[in-house]
Amino acid sequence: MTDAPAETERSYNGLPGAFPYAIRSSDSLLFKGYVVVALLLTVAIALIFTFGLIGVLAGSSGARGGTFTFSRTFFLFVGLLVVAPLLAPVLLVARRHRRTASSVAYDRGLALSALGFVASLYVGLVISVPPALQQSSESAIVATLYGLPQIAGLAPPLVAVGLMYVVHRILR
């Protein structure tokens, strides 16, 4: 038989419990900092997408199904695509610590790659700013990013997610 207090200490009971469990079990200060950043960003992005969904629903309330129903679903899908890579490192590290002995290098590597994803979200947002909302800037980097086609804003987050996967595969 398993010892009930030891089993309770080793488990984290899903997504909400994974955050405190990952902080308790990791020895990497960088990863512990990322857990806090991921939690704050996830809450902020969830609020933004919730208010955006309310706006989409209000704008299409009188419309019949079809394209409007698809746009609502696609809006939620995009929100999930943004939040999932933020949560993945926390869940991966919590799972790894629960099942095996994890290393500080693994935790630190996932934290660095996840912070790279956060930075890539910002770069992707700068690239995808509509021309009417772009502000003039003295920075050559910002001017270059504004000059790219808006669809190129998908590339930085996709590359960052790929890098996160490679880091996970190499360090596990």
What are the tens digits of pLDDT across the range 95-126?
898 888 778 999 999 999 999 999 999 999 99
Choose among 82, 71, 16, 87: nearest CA to 49. 82
Collapsing DSSP to helix, strand or coil, 115 comes out as helix
pLDDT at 2 over 50: no
Q: How confident is the model at residue 66 (pLDDT cuts 50, 70, 90)?
A: low
- On whether residue 140 sits in a domain, the answer given is yes
CB 99 within 8 A of CB 136: no
pLDDT range class, residue 11, cuts 50, 70, 90? low
In a domain, 117, yes or no: yes
Residue 159 inside a domain? The answer is yes
- Would residue 4 count as lying in a domain? no
Task: Tell me, yes or no, whether 2 lies in a domain.
Answer: no
Q: Range of 148's domain? A: 16-171
**Mean pLDDT along residues 140-154:** 93
Report yes or no on 1 lying in a domain: no
pLDDT tens figures, 79-100: 889 999 999 999 999 889 888 8
Q: How many domains does the chain have?
A: 1
User: What pLDDT does residue 15 have?
Assistant: 82
Q: Are 106 and 172 in contact (CB under 8 A)?
A: yes
Averaged over 126-147, what is the pLDDT? 91
In the chain, the amino acid numbered 15 is: L
What three-state secondary structure class fits 58? helix
For residue 8, tell me if it sits in a domain.
Answer: no
Does 10 fall in a domain? no
Contact criterion met (CB below 8 Å) for 83 and 42? yes
With beta carbons less than 8 A apart as the criterion, state whether 123 and 107 touch: no
